[in-house]
Amino acid sequence: MDTTLESSAAVLDTQKDADGSFPTDKKITVVFVLGGPGSGKGTQCANIVEHFGFTHLSTGDLLRAESKSGSPNGIMIRDMMNEGKIVPSEVTIKLLRKAMLESGNDKFLIDGFPRNEENRAAFENIMKIEPEFVLYFDCPVEELERRLLNRNQGRDDDNIGTIQKRFKVFIESTLPILEYYNSKGKLRKIDAGKPVDEVFEDVKAVLSPFAVEANTCRKSNVSMVLGLEYLIYLVKRLFRAARMLLTHLFHGTALEEGWHAASIQK
């Protein structure tokens, strides 16, 4: 398989443990999203979420949040990320699993994972979920560097020293994972060197099998909203009827009392 960087991520088999379990009756769909650092994985995932109803889980974001949470692993994660190294799978998968369960969704874009063979094997062994396919954003290294240096999102690892290390780790550890999924016919390679909208056109073509489900999902959301609105309308009418009845009873009694008092005075 040729890549630009060289030249310069189902079916659920339920797992039960202390963290909880996925519902047995649901098919869990997982799409792994890979590409060099800065290839636009996060950018495109945001578009996919909007159009196809997936939950986007960025392993980098999950690790960054964990490193800042003051957890026992926090310092180790921060140090490894600053060195561009890959955090042990046990840590990453625990975070991923928790986020997947908490989302309540059954379709996941797992961004920046699996980064190496250890990640891939651990996910398969622990989660027992086969990815539907792997979306690979392929982009020239010069463009990656330019994007990362201009990102300006305050990331500690967006400095030239760590960027070079991340490129090296991508070539040595992640490219073999792409080869693996390519050999299984599960790689969907996208030219990520183009403008964002053009890249998304290609992404949409790959994600098209999920379009019908997305429509269904949107339709069911619409009927849920309409159902809720109708319920609110019925409750409002009920309240109005109750108020009219009470007013009628109250006024009736008051009138009766008024009439009674008047007749006594006479």
Ligand X SMILES: Nc1ncnc2c1ncn2[C@@H]1O[C@H](COP(=O)(O)OP(=O)(O)OP(=O)(O)O)[C@@H](O)[C@H]1O
DSSP β-bridge partners for residue 135: 33, 188
Query: What is the x/- site pattern for ligand X, positions 164-193, by CB under 6 A?
Result: ------------------------------
The amino acid present at 80, given as its one-letter code, is M
Which residue is listed with tokens 């928790």?
98
- Bridge partner list, 30: 108
- Name which of 94 and 213 has its Cβ closer to ligand LCLUPRNS: 94
Q: With CB under 6 A, what is the number of residues at the site for ligand LCLUPRNS?
A: 16
Binding ligand X (rule: CB under 6 A), the pick from 3, 4, 29, 39 is 39
- Centre a 10 Å sphere on the Cβ of residue 235 and count the other Cβ atoms it contains: 10
Residues 6+ apart with CB under 8 A from 199: 40, 44, 137, 190, 191, 192
Chain Cα centroid distance, residue 90? 20
The side-by-side arrangement of strands in the sheet containing 29-35 is 55-58, 107-111, 29-35, 133-138, 187-191
Instruction: Please choose, out of 6-14, 45-53, 82-90, 176-184, the segment that lies near ligand LCLUPRNS by the rule CB under 6 A.
Output: 82-90
The answer on whether 87 is annotated among ligand-binding residues is yes
- Ligand-binding annotation for 114, yes or no, is yes
Structure tokens at 94: 């625990």
Q: According to CB under 6 A, which residues from 135 to 154 bind ligand X?
A: 147, 151
Indicate the annotated binding residues: 38-43, 64, 85-87, 112-115, 119, 151, 155, 166, 194
Q: Which parts of this chain interact with ligand LCLUPRNS (CB under 6 A)?
A: 37, 58-60, 63, 81, 84, 86-87, 92, 112-113, 115, 119, 157, 166
Contacting residues toward ligand X, per CB under 6 A: 35, 37-43, 60, 112, 147, 151, 195-196, 199
